[in-house]
Structure 1
């Protein structure tokens, strides 16, 4: 009997140690599930059953048990009954994970939105586009190219191809259409970066200035510029690993103010000497944007009035953290057609229907390769300068996000190609090569 009790005690100790060791993982597991379900339901109108079966059906997230309160717009996700995370939906700011009971009832400001234009033809409005048939396009070849990326392996959900401002191909899987909103994940970084171009064009900011971070004033980090942050070569430490308890996972699922997640990180290299991808950097940039305005309301409005709604991305919603800062690294939702509008703004060098939103040379700046990035990265934008896609022009650049969210801009071809997906397992080089061939 004594041996049995000793064995039982040992098992209890081992179980306790295992729970304590894995508690942070359970926290993030449940947090990811709750946050994703809340956003999917209340932003994109995809219900709990669909999200669990499709968006949250990978390990270990599929181990969470989820419950949704539609009336109060709350999602509770449990990790084996040991820990429960709560996500709440706030109109205008999206879903957020609570950290304390008071978060559920906390007051918040919401952004003011511009009026939706449903009359002007797409892309400058949301009305039906004018019918145009291009003699230079092999439409059968184009549709074959688009269809080729829709399969169980690629898990593509939507594709939109735009040529000379006209949608020439558009396809969605069953259950989705032109009004369906998709999470762009890190494509949101390109929204954040673009806002600096807008502010600079308005004469309110210079990206070559030192980053206005008071915590850096008295140490070597004071030399970091906004430009360094935009190019992600500040030299700051950061761990961007979504599969472990890392800086990025703690920020997104345990953070209250995500703009501060990288502020206290030390340098691991001198500024402009080491390219290091960091979602913490982009949220730090969101915080810098906040510092440019006298009030929280002005900051909230600016993203929409001066860019997002300005170009008719009216479906877009950028989610905010518990402190009301936009999560500029990851949480932008919009329809594929609206994501394409951001690509078109760049294709037209910042000119939107006759109005210049950022300087013409901003595109050149934003698509200049960051030192040591091997030609892959510019200012919050991915590049093909390093020949990542060998059969695609080197001056192609893109907004990219987790699980295969892409907006490809092809200046020479006057094209924008949008792909929304659940996996990056796709031959993008071949996909774009075939689309280009069909249009030439």
Structure 2
């Protein structure tokens, strides 16, 4: 991990505000926490330096050496205020200074700790090895008469290991916090995506319902209104029957539209399965659909081979009903007067098959506007239910829609 990558990963309160490349406009102002940490580090380094200065003064070193040691220690402690900007360079300089000036040892420890927290282990290992070597050189150049060389070497090794180990622990903890925050952010993003997908599925389900429900009613209205337009000389009985169908279809379409709007306003969202608060059609209500089409003037033959329609699962029956409804609607629009055959077969375990077939119209049919969304919606409905949907022209010029839906045993 590079310095810039780690700078990006660290939380703002933990990040190094003055890493290379972040100078100028990218520099973060010191927070109250930064001041507390920097003051504590300065006081710790100064305390260690005072203890080392007392030791060097008590072993008979010349006054000028003691003064230079104290001066170097004070400069090293003050230099800690820039450790956030140049952590590697400062640590290297303090390792060299502490080799000849023991008073700078406290500042070197703080710089090594800061380097371990903010830099990769490879850099830390090099500087830590250099600090250990510097401690051994210091034990030779500036020996303490009260401590043996072996004891001094062991103490230096223990201090370096403790500082590096503590720094690595802090670094790992910060990385863990960053990882948890990133995981939480990712989980929140995924939750938003799931919610958006659920809303999209709900909108698609509502769109299918609105098309399936309203298209049937409005097609009845359009066909009979067109008949009145093209046959103004029709017998009064036929005109009255067509007007009655138009009135009933408009009323039913308005009621269906109110039902759909009621679903949209309901507090419980639609889950995409079509299970809302209003009564839903099933396979048992297919006879009523066929009877309604016959009353509207269609010639419909129903071949219902399911002995107990009530045994068909509600979702499967509802999908079969919608497929038959759309097939009758298309036949009414594009093949008026043709006899339509609706066939329903199937058994538990084998699935449910529903087919709507009509021959070619016996006369020229005026062009009826259509977008094909109904067939697209039926394809989506059958696919979501785990089935399949087929449609197309028959050899004689007719049209056929067929769907297979799973029916669990």
TM surpasses 0.5: no
- The two structures have a TM-score, normalised by structure 2, of 0.23
Q: Which has the larger radius of gyration?
A: 2
Task: From the two aligned structures, give the one with the greater strand fraction.
Answer: 1
Task: From the two aligned structures, give the one with the greater helix fraction.
Answer: 2
- The two structures have a TM-score, normalised by structure 1, of 0.22
